[in-house]
Structure 1
Amino acid sequence: MLRLLKIVFSSVQKRSNTNVSAVLRSVSLAASPSANFVSHPQMEAKLYHAPPQVRGMTSLDKDAFAQTITVPALRVPTRFINKLMKSLKKSTIQRPGVPRVVQDQEESPDFRLVLLDPHRVSSSGSFSEAEAEALRSFDVSQELQHYELRLTYDNLKSEEVLEAVLPLEQDVTSSFSRVGHIAHMNLRDHQLPYRNLIGKVIMDKNPGVTCVVNKTNNIDSTYRNFKMEVLAGEENMVAKVKENGVTYEFDFSRVYWNPRLSTEHQRVVDLVKRGDIVFDVFAGVGPFAIPAARAGAAVFANDLNPESYRWLQHNSKLNKVEGKVKSFNLDGRAFVRGPLKRELPALFAGKGRVHVVMNLPALALEFLDAFRGLLQEEAPYDNNLPTVHCYGFSKDDNPERDMVERASLVLGFPLEGRCNVHSVRNVAPNKDMLCISFTLPQEVLFSQHEEQTEHSEEPTPKRQKCETADSS
């Protein structure tokens, strides 16, 4: 119990990173007689800790979380409230739905009580020098009052509720990825018995979230989606999100979308200039392709997943770049050895740079062999060779070196000293996502290697579609 109290005390001290309901359903305040705050040795024990009956709860009972705590307060003349609150903002209570200023215990209109954070203020000597000076300037006594404050479920943060419910000594999570109106969680096994309660709490405490889902398996490497179960709310999986000023719509249950990659999407798009050409081999719903087209590039975007292909076309129209994005529904290797191969020779003489984006971290490195011997004769202009941005995962102690070695092996050409490796994010302990960027060597592109057979783990779909949008 002592450990739980320390955790709750710590969480009360920090502001929650999640949005919480601003509506207080039940706050009851009753003043005790004026007294020195530190004269109550049991004061610390009265700070909020969940009633023991909520431990192990699997069906949310909001009324069971009600608790009365004692907090310090200052009696302040009403006419000075606004000015004084600016000086005391670091010491006032910060609790969802709880007002910081309440009616004076004597119900005098000339005075109000300012509620203070008991973790910051425990006696009249707890105020900083600046705060104490402000109190003196308005002739406000530093003598602390006691206030009995009734907290309800609505005044608790999501992590406090979950810490109170889940078993002791077990990990508690209130974190999730936000995809439009959907909160996406990855629950651990010991949390699964409480999954519906967790979903309801997350939905309650985060305005705008109307559906909470939990991933039930790993990402499928073929279509890059995963099975999920709805924990709370509506079963509407069609999300609308805005990333880096671009709007996307898609069925989250049938395509791949990761909100943690927005910075990486923008980093690569910033390399693209007006007049450039972009080949997006694994385009998904368009997070690279569409902003690149908005930047003035001509884009050839491909994805094997028929749903991703459909939403890619939809999002191109939604963002009014359908004339700049030619979309394909092909296997990645078929796209490289088909549309990319056909278009590439004519681009060598152009002024725009050629970019090839390969964002399929689980498999993309294996597709690099598709470039070996792609063209049979050297073009007269070989100074505009494509720049490849290829993503991969690494569990190696030296992930940068690992990426270079693996890419070199598949290409059949050493890339050391001829590439850049960018660390994208840490996916899990001892698992990193990286992007290796390099100019495609002409020794690879124009080599005499026999055309590679398709051996990747990405299967060729039974029915392949290839549709192009009209050129701008």
Structure 2
Amino acid sequence: MDFKSRLKGVIPDGVLDEIPGRFDAIGDIAVLSLPVSAKTYSGSVAEALCCSRKSIRTVLNKRSLLSGDFRTFDFDVIYGGGTETVHREYGFSYKVDLKDSFFTGKLSSERMRVASLVEAGESVFVPFAGVGPFAVPAAKRGGNVIAMELNRKACGYMRENMNLNSVCGSMDVICGDVCCCGSLFGSVTGSLSDSGSSFGCLFDRIIAPAPYGMDDVIPVLSGILKKDGHLHFYSFRPENQVGDFIDYAKGCGFIVEGYSACGNVAPGILRWVFDMRKL
């Protein structure tokens, strides 16, 4: 029985209709977005959810949209306690504190899809890496991965996750701003190579789970990607603006070889992944 079915007769029908039937399960934490009308009944909602999903030990309610440089939410803990958990998907484990780092379980199949494209020995750059859910599988596939993240706390968890998943030998973490990646790469070895990257060569592949409004970073990423290299870029927009993005990517020197929606994030706004090749 789903958790909303358990609430019939407990919460007024009008309020129950406003409560989303879906939630984000991250480890043993469930993340909800309750309407204001349901605030009085949050304890009953949490209890019903935990009864319907025995693995859930903590229930959080989002009090805000993503905000700040680190894309984090404000939460109310409405059941259990603590915002740190270990999320497991497809044989990987990710330790994360949701109050400090962005993470969603809803992209698990997409993370595996894009990781499956990585070939052994490829040089792979993962900007906006968070706690590593895109970077770790790419390293496990045999890629030589550089992951970059601005949030220092997320970087700490990403290093822990390298150990948890035994990829320390094929993955490095840089705490820094992707928009300044040229100078940041330069600071790692002291100077940029002739090919444009301080790592001795341009990257074969870039996996970029970019936050909202970061499409203008594509020219920066192009500068560290090989000719015929692949960029998997995540962008947020309504469906009727997909063509505009494809034209923009073409102007940046890419051809879009495929794209697909991978989740709604707001009414009328979808997260899209664009699989692109540099011309």
Band the TM-score falls in, shorter-chain normalisation: 0.7 to 0.9
Q: Which residue of 2 aligns with 1:283?
A: 129
Q: Which residue of 1 aligns with 2:201?
A: 347
SS in 2 for 1:433: strand
TM-score normalised according to structure 2 size: 0.87
Q: Which residue of 2 aligns with 1:365?
A: 215
Q: Which residue of 2 aligns with 1:421?
A: 259
1:418-469 CA-to-partner distances (Å, cap 9, x unmatched) read: 543232223333111111222234xxxxxxxxxxxxxxxxxxxxxxxxxxxx
Q: Tell me if the contact between 2:256 and 2:274 (Cα under 8 Å) persists in the aligned partners.
A: no
Q: 2:229 aligns with which of 377, 381, 386?
A: 386
SS in 1 for 2:132: coil
1:248 corresponds to which letter in structure 2?
A: Y
Q: Tell me if the contact between 1:200 and 1:231 (Cα under 8 Å) persists in the aligned partners.
A: no
CA distance 1:167–1:405, shift in 2 (3 Å): farther
Q: Which residue of 2 aligns with 1:261?
A: 107
Q: 2:31 aligns with which of 184, 189, 197?
A: 184
Distance 1:407 1:282 in 2: 19
Q: Which residue of 1 aligns with 2:75?
A: 228
Distance 2:233 2:59 in 1: 32
CA distance 1:369–1:383, shift in 2 (3 Å): closer
Q: Report how far residue 408 of structure 1 moved.
A: 4.5
SS in 2 for 1:398: helix
1:173-200 CA-to-partner distances (Å, cap 9, x unmatched) read: 4432211111111111211221122112
Q: Which runs of 4+ in 1 moved over 6 A?
A: none
Superposed, 1:23-422 pairs within 5 Å as: 158-170=3-15, 171=17, 172-233=19-80, 235-339=81-185, 342=193, 343=197, 346-347=200-201, 354-371=204-221, 374=223, 384-395=227-238, 397-408=239-250, 411=252, 413=253, 415=254, 418-422=256-260
SS in 2 for 1:333: helix
Q: Tell me if the contact between 1:356 and 1:387 (Cα under 8 Å) persists in the aligned partners.
A: yes
Distance 2:268 2:23 in 1: 21
Q: Tell me if the contact between 1:420 and 1:437 (Cα under 8 Å) persists in the aligned partners.
A: yes
CA distance 1:371–1:298, shift in 2 (3 Å): closer
Q: Any gaps of 5 or more consecutive residues in structure 1?
A: 1-15, 19-157, 376-381, 442-472
Q: Tell me if the contact between 1:394 and 1:402 (Cα under 8 Å) persists in the aligned partners.
A: no
Distance 2:56 2:199 in 1: 49
Q: Report how far residue 371 of structure 1 moved.
A: 4.5
CA distance 1:438–1:160, shift in 2 (3 Å): closer
Q: Tell me if the contact between 1:273 and 1:296 (Cα under 8 Å) persists in the aligned partners.
A: yes
More strand by share: 2
SS in 2 for 1:279: strand
Distance 1:279 1:174 in 2: 36
Q: Report how far residue 274 of structure 1 moved.
A: 0.6
Q: Tell me if the contact between 1:316 and 1:325 (Cα under 8 Å) persists in the aligned partners.
A: yes
SS in 2 for 1:275: coil
TM-score normalised according to structure 1 size: 0.53
Distance 1:383 1:194 in 2: 54
1:433 corresponds to which letter in structure 2?
A: R
Q: Report how far residue 163 of structure 1 moved.
A: 2.5
Q: For the aligned residues, what is the CA RMSD? A: 2.4
SS in 1 for 2:259: strand
Distance 1:208 1:278 in 2: 34
Distance 1:336 1:187 in 2: 42
CA distance 1:304–1:200, shift in 2 (3 Å): same
Question: Comparing 298-307 with 198-207, which one deviates more in the overlay?
Answer: 198-207
1:404 corresponds to which letter in structure 2?
A: I
1:320 corresponds to which letter in structure 2?
A: S
Q: Report how far residue 386 of structure 1 moved.
A: 2.7
- How many residue pairs match? The answer is 269
